[in-house]
Amino acid sequence: MAQKKCQVAVLISGSGTNLQALIDAAAAEDAGFELCAVISNKADAYGLTRARDAGIPAAVVSHRDYADRESFDRALIECIDGHGAELVVLAGFMRILTPGFVRHYSGRLLNIHPSLLPKYQGLNTHQRALDAGDAEHGVTVHFVTEELDGGPPIVQAVVPVEPGDTAGILAKRVQQREHSIYPLAVRWFAGGRLRMDGERVLLDGELLPPSGRVIRD
């Protein structure tokens, strides 16, 4: 009998190119995971269309319908758990989550952030890397903890910063890597190979370095 696949909920707020990469990766026979729900806090997020086109249950939980972060996050939890999710993947979800939410999914909540964490937590990461004159930039998939963009890294992809790069050009180069490392991390998790251990991450029982597994061009 086929083994049960890891059930993954993806939270989005926008276009969902990372979601698309996960939809495509889940279609592989040996993927080991399937998307059980796509949930957006915005009704017009294009990622919802991607989900519906792929036959994945799509839901909107609008933060505008709730008086505070706590009640919004409780509604999100109800929706996610109602779909039987074992892993929760943040893919361009533009809301700050409460400590209660993060604790509820401790060790099974992933985020992707477009910088080589711990550099450039927060927004405008590509411009900040350019302004700093960095020779390299990149993207990090990490477990989420209560510190914003601060949980332990699982995998980083490093790209060069080229002369003449603009924030837009650099964003595109980084995004290409996002679309390969996010499915990679989800496959690791689904295969039971990945575990958060305090401030560090274990892959196949071995402690990863503080930057996680580092992938270069």
Span 96-135, contacts to ligand GRF by CB under 6 A: 112-114
Among 6, 9, 178, 187, binds ligand GRF (CB under 6 A): 178
Element (H, E) at 77: helix 69-82
Residue 73 in contact with ligand GRF, rule: CB under 6 A: no
The residue count for binding ligand GRF (CB under 6 A) is 13
Q: Which residue, 24 or 68, has its beta carbon nearer to ligand GRF?
A: 24
In the residue annotation, 113 being an active-site residue is answered as: yes
Specify the residue, 67 or 96, whose C-beta has the smaller distance to ligand GRF: 96
The 8-class DSSP code of residue 65 comes to G
CB-based contacts of 194, cutoff 8 Å, min separation 6: 154, 185, 188, 201, 202, 203
Cis geometry, peptide bond prior to residue 118 (ω within 30 degrees of 0): yes
Residue 183 sits in the site that holds ligand GRF (CB under 6 A)? no
Distance CA 45, CA 38 (A): 11
Q: Whose CA is closest to 115, among 75, 170, 63, 68?
A: 170
Task: Candidates 5, 7, 14, 203: give the one binding ligand GRF (CB under 6 A).
Answer: 14
Can you give the binding site for ligand GRF, defined by CB under 6 A? 14-19, 91-92, 112-114, 139, 178
Which sequence positions are flagged as catalytic?
113
